[in-house]
Structure formats: C-alpha cells, structure tokens
Amino acid sequence: MPDALPHLFPPIQPRNSGMLAVDDIHTIYWEEVGNPNGIPVVFLHGGPGAGMSPQHRRFFNPDHYRVILFDQRGAGKSTPLGEVRNNTTQLLIADIERLRELFGIDKWLVFGGSWGSTLALAYGQAHPEHCLGFVLRGIFLCTQKEIDWFLQGSEWFHPEVYDEFVAHIPSEERGNLLQAYVKRIMDPNPEVHWPAVRAWSKFEGRRVFLLPQPDEPPSDTLDLGVGRMESHYMANLGFFTDGQLLANTSRIAHLPAVIVQGRYDVICPPVSAQRLQQAWGANAVMKMIPDAGHGAMEVGISRALVNATEQFRQQGRFA
C-alpha cells in the first residue's frame, strides 16, 4: 500500500521504551527513537489526552535526532487512563523534566502541536535554560476566548456537528456546555460517562481536517483520554491565568521557533498563532499553510513540520 505521506521519514521502531512512575497515582509511558548521539528533541502530543502515535516518530530524521516521546498523564499507554487526579499543567512540566534528567539531556528541541504547543510554551517559559528551540503547530494559548470558540464556534462552520454535540445535553443545561459535559464525563457510572466521552471525542475529531474524512471507529483509549483530559483542562483554564502564555513569551523570545498553522484551522484559529509570532518577534518564523485545517497529518502541515526539523538540524535556526 503506497505511503500517503511519503515526505515523512520511514516508519521506525523505538530503540527503547518503558514506564516511569511519576507519583503514587500516575505512571507514564515513554519511547526513545533514533540516534542516541543525535540532537535531542521532546515530542509533546495534543489533546490533552490524545496520546502519541507511531506516525509522530516520522517527523524527525532518525540518523540525526534522538527523539523522546511520551504519553502524558491520563493518556495513551500511561496509567491510569483518563485519571484527572494529580493532573495539572505544572505536573506535566515536572514530568518533562523527569524525562530530561532520566535521559541525561541538558538541552533539547521542543516539538508540540495543538495542546502540545500549549504545553511546549508552558515548559519553555518554566525552563528556558533547557530548550534549544521550538517547533509548534496549531497554536492553542488556552485562553477563555479560545475555549469558548472550541465549544461554540463550530456552530458557524459545522452546524450539524454542533447540533449533534448539543443534543446530548438537556436544553436547560445548554447555557454552559462545558460544565454540562464535565458533569457527565466525570460521572463514575459508565452508562453516563461513556456516551459523553464518545460525543466529545467525535465532536473534535470531525473538525480536525480541512477536507471531510471518514469517521474513525470508537476507541476506548482515545475517547476516554480526550474526553476526560480536554474537559478537565478546559474547565480549569489549563491551570493558567488568562493570557499567561502570551504575556510570558519574553522568557523564550531569545530562542528560535517555527510556527506552523493551517489557514482554515477551526479548532485553533490562526489569530492565536499570529499573536504568538508578534509577541515572540524576529526569532519566530510563521508558516501559514493555505490549504490546511488543524491536522498534523494534512499534507501541507506535515511537510512544513519535516522542513522545520530538517532546517534546525542543518542550521540550528528556521527560515
């Protein structure tokens, strides 16, 4: 079967993988891919709660990069799946530092898309001394406006998707969709939370790509991870003050960054990417992809991400 994305590097298996207990509740799954003497890079997946996939390894030349990927708390192969206790952005940042120390890495390139871009910015602002630069995609600054857009903005572009999402909530609770879904998603009764997490995951998944894609079959891991983590983090404004990430951009503005953004991204609209680039200044390069939505695996976006990692490998900068 031909490769749908031949510009990515060939599929590769991890050199090492394992589980790291980060507290009394959570154990995170990690992978190490590529050249053990290569440029270190940490891959931060989206969601939160979406987990990583084998395709994510393919953004990096394995002869020249040492790639550390992991499933964040509550996601993918990390345990317990969908657990919101002890699950905050500050604890995720601490997990990244544990991994950096585990692998004996001083500084690394930070790569993240969607929620991964949020976490990348938060990590970088907390630990700029350990960052070489940033590759960011589908910028989400986790502001109240962006959260409101995620839930309500779809009505303007995908009214049938929005109507299906809202239909799961009684009319008297629709004034606060986020809280209505949180109540159901966090309910311990599987007959209550499974329909809610399925609806939440489908609501997001159907808006990821610019061009319509077939609906993915239900996935317990993805649906529970995305439904639980996204609603939990959004209900807590990502554990930030509103506007925090943009306000603190000066902490990392001396480092190089490339921002890859789909022009027709209806999940994380381009205004956030533009505001971030403006705040970052000359060291941040914007790559606006004219024929793409939100998906990392859309052709234009994935090609731009590979180009970015190759430019950094060759020059230590982005152009």
Please identify every residue annotated as catalytic: 114, 265, 294
Give 65's strand partners.
39
Q: What are the φ/ψ torsions at residue 111 (nearest 5 degrees)? A: -120, 125
Mode of pairing for the β-strands spanning 65-70 and 27-34? antiparallel
185, 228 Cβ separation under 8 angstroms: yes
Q: Which two tokens stand for residue 186?
A: 């966090």
Q: Please report how many Cα atoms fall inside a 13 Å half-sphere around the Cα of residue 162, on the Cβ side.
A: 15
Q: Which two tokens stand for residue 83?
A: 């657990």
Peptide bond into 48 cis (omega under 30): yes
In angstroms, the CA 76 to CA 56 distance is 13
Single out the residue of 151, 145, 156, 185 nearest to residue 166, CA to CA: 151
In angstroms, the CA 27 to CA 73 distance is 7
In angstroms, the CA 316 to CA 203 distance is 39
In angstroms, the CA 263 to CA 248 distance is 25
In angstroms, the CA 280 to CA 250 distance is 7
